[in-house]
Amino acid sequence: MPHLRSKRLPDVEGRARPFRKQPDTDLREHLTDPVAPLDPEEESRSMKISRRENSPFENSPLNIPPGAGPARPGVRGARRAAVAVALGSVLALTATACGDDGGGSAGDKGTEGSGKGEITFWDNNGGVRTDIWKQIIADFEKKYPDIKVKYVGVPAASAQSKYDTAIQGGGLPDVGGVGTAMLAEVAAQGALEPLDSRIEKSSLNGKLSRNLLDVSRAAGGGDTLYQVPTSANNGTLWYRTDLFKAAGLDAPTSWSKFYEAAAKLTDKGKNKFGFTIRGGEGSIAPALDAAYGQTGITSFWDGDRTTVNDPKNVAALEKYVALYKKATPSADVNNDFTKMVAQWDSGTIGMLSHNLGSYQDHLKALGAGTFRGIPNPTLDDGTRVQISNPVDGLSLFKSGKNKAAAWKFIEFAVSAAENSKFNESAGQVPANTDAAGEAWIQQAEPTRLAAEALNGSSTKIVQLPYYLPDWNTISKADNEPNFQKVLLGKMSVKDFLDTLADQLDKAQADWKAHH
């Protein structure tokens, strides 16, 4: 019986989120500088930002609104065992044959089929992406009139549970959108078709971003490809070009230039700050990105032990968090992405580390020609190391009765023209590298630079262990409050990273013991 991951929901920025416990201290008492938490009117605006950001990244199928997450740490093992028993009972049953429109369960091996007829496609971000997928389906059916695609829009918040139910009880689609946040769990239950050999024989061979394929493989929990990537995002350092010009500063393309600018642009007396650091919900990934980006360490694991608490990472994170209250507002300790973006758009902060999703909000608030978005800084020698971002993609389900037709649909949807069309609508980076030359990307500098960074041969991506059953709990509820303690001087960076490393090492050992 495969070892199952505890069920989890990705948060609004694509990283898995569980039920989040609250910090054990009232952090509001530590806010002393002029930049205070958002008032109700600003809070209302930040919620609008969240919805608007949903089109480029935050609301990709990987990035769903807050919802219930996995069980508390004390009951993780019991829950996984219960799910495993339930799945085992289902898989012990003899699968019932289904028609070409899907309907199988995880135990059904399916068939290649005739390559004609009807196939079922589940869009794991139904509503948000419905219109663009219907355009792609219309294009596909025009090229392949003998194949009809039944579109099923699944709300992002319920995609994981819908797949779980169908895996156990039948009714899986032929093709479905499966993001990296849920990929390993679905694959571990035997529901997905391995895709390496199909890619090698298809028109997509050599056309997909190597780095995104690596992320997809790693997220599946091994070396097998279970997802054809369609879309991705990249960490973006937004900076105020007008403020940089006035201060005589170079663009913050390297970490040394970043720190120089953070210090020079800060004038607390005038309520001006060089940077805004993310201290609230979603803080762990940006912190790890800053640590690995500064040290150049390229692997999350050294054998069976994580590198997060490598002495170099400890020193790098110490330098990064030292910016808090020196070059950042003290309100940052509570800031999630909506508050952080709203605060930066107020016009008194030099730099913001976020992603492509907030571009339209910056444009509306600050106006064209006053800011830029570039990939996160490199080392002084130009070396770029960054953590993996969640990747969305399409998966072929093993139980399908018409895999030949379903694969044609995947191949078509990720072709250069259709993948470009999809990502122009979504505001994301296309997985098909031939789409990188499209006019819309060339005209959108932040997206163009993000694509160049993601697809660059010199870019090294540290693969976060999305496949671990407890990754969401470890990276969210267990350690976000600890990062706030670090910012407030109540916990050392070393103790923070040692705690994180100990939890990760145990989770990795548990994963290997069951796989």
pLDDT confidence bin for 171, thresholds 50/70/90: very high
Summarize pLDDT for 326-345 with one digit per residue, the tens.
999 999 999 998 899 999 99
**Pair 47, 122 in one domain:** no
- pTM, 2 dp: 0.77
**Pair 380, 483 in one domain:** yes
Average pLDDT estimate for 105-109: 65
Residue 181 in this model has a pLDDT that exceeds 80: yes
Decide if 80 is inside a domain: no
Amino acid in the structure at residue 374? I
Q: How far apart are CA 402 and CA 114, in angstroms?
A: 6
The residue behind tokens 């194949």 is: 147
- Triad 478, 6, 288: Cα angle to 5°: 40
Q: Which of 11-25, 103-117, 206-220, 225-239 has the lowest mean pLDDT?
A: 11-25
Residue 259 in this model has a pLDDT that exceeds 60: yes
For position 439, what pLDDT does the model report?
Answer: 92
Please provide the average confidence, as pLDDT, over all residues in the chain. Answer: 83
pLDDT confidence bin for 106, thresholds 50/70/90: low
Is the distance from CB of 401 to CB of 170 less than 8 angstroms?
A: no
Summarize pLDDT for 436-478 with one digit per residue, the tens.
889 999 888 999 999 999 888 889 999 999 999 889 899 998 9
Decide if 66 is inside a domain: no
Residue 78 in this model has a pLDDT that exceeds 60: no
Residue 495 in this model has a pLDDT that exceeds 80: yes
Residue 47 in this model has a pLDDT that exceeds 90: no
Average pLDDT estimate for 270-290: 96
pLDDT confidence bin for 105, thresholds 50/70/90: low
Helix, strand, coil: what percent of the chain each, to 5?
Answer: 45, 15, 40
Decide if 323 is inside a domain: yes
Is the distance from CB of 268 to CB of 258 less than 8 angstroms?
A: no
Decide if 72 is inside a domain: no
Q: 427, 457, 487 — which closes off a domain? A: 457
Burial 61-92 (b: 16+ CB within 10 A, else e): bbbbbebebbbebeebeebbeebbeebeebbe
**Pair 217, 298 in one domain:** no
For the ranges 54-63, 393-402, 458-467, the one whose mean pLDDT is highest: 393-402
Decide if 79 is inside a domain: no
Q: How far apart are CA 80 and CA 3, in angstroms?
A: 8
Judged on CB neighbours under 10 Å (0-12, 13-18, 19+), 261 is buried
Query: Which has more confidence, 274 or 234?
Result: 274
**Pair 182, 325 in one domain:** no
Question: Hey, what are 352's tokens?
Answer: 């913001």
Which of 333, 239, 337 is CA-nearest to residue 35?
333
**Pair 380, 497 in one domain:** yes
Average pLDDT estimate for 263-271: 96
Q: 428, 457, 486 — which closes off a domain? A: 457
Q: Which of 74-83, 97-106, 241-250, 503-512 has the lowest mean pLDDT?
A: 74-83
**Pair 50, 16 in one domain:** yes
Amino acid in the structure at residue 138? A
For position 196, what pLDDT does the model report?
Answer: 97
**Pair 278, 354 in one domain:** yes
Structure letter (DSSP) for residue 144: -
Considering the chain, what percentage of its residues have pLDDT values greater than 90? 66
For position 358, what pLDDT does the model report?
Answer: 86
Summarize pLDDT for 290-322 with one digit per residue, the tens.
999 999 999 999 999 999 999 999 999 999 999
Domain of 396 in residue numbering reads as 96-232+391-457
Residue 21 in this model has a pLDDT that exceeds 90: no
**Pair 263, 318 in one domain:** yes
- Triad 275, 277, 282: Cα angle to 5°: 150
**Pair 166, 219 in one domain:** yes
Q: 432, 457, 482 — which closes off a domain? A: 457
Summarize pLDDT for 121-139 with one digit per residue, the tens.
999 999 989 999 999 999 9
Domain count, the chain: 2
Which of 135, 194, 146 is CA-nearest to residue 419?
135
Decide if 86 is inside a domain: no
Phi, then psi, of 246 in degrees rounded to 5: -65, -30
Q: How far apart are CA 361 and CA 357, in angstroms?
A: 9
**Pair 240, 335 in one domain:** yes
pLDDT confidence bin for 104, thresholds 50/70/90: low
**Pair 376, 495 in one domain:** yes
Decide if 88 is inside a domain: no
CATH number for 125: 3.40.190.10
Decide if 4 is inside a domain: no
For position 195, what pLDDT does the model report?
Answer: 98
Residue 71 in this model has a pLDDT that exceeds 50: no
For position 356, what pLDDT does the model report?
Answer: 87
**Pair 373, 342 in one domain:** yes
For position 22, what pLDDT does the model report?
Answer: 38
Is the distance from CB of 20 to CB of 281 less than 8 angstroms?
A: yes
Summarize pLDDT for 363-383 with one digit per residue, the tens.
999 999 999 999 999 999 999
Strand partners, 387: 462
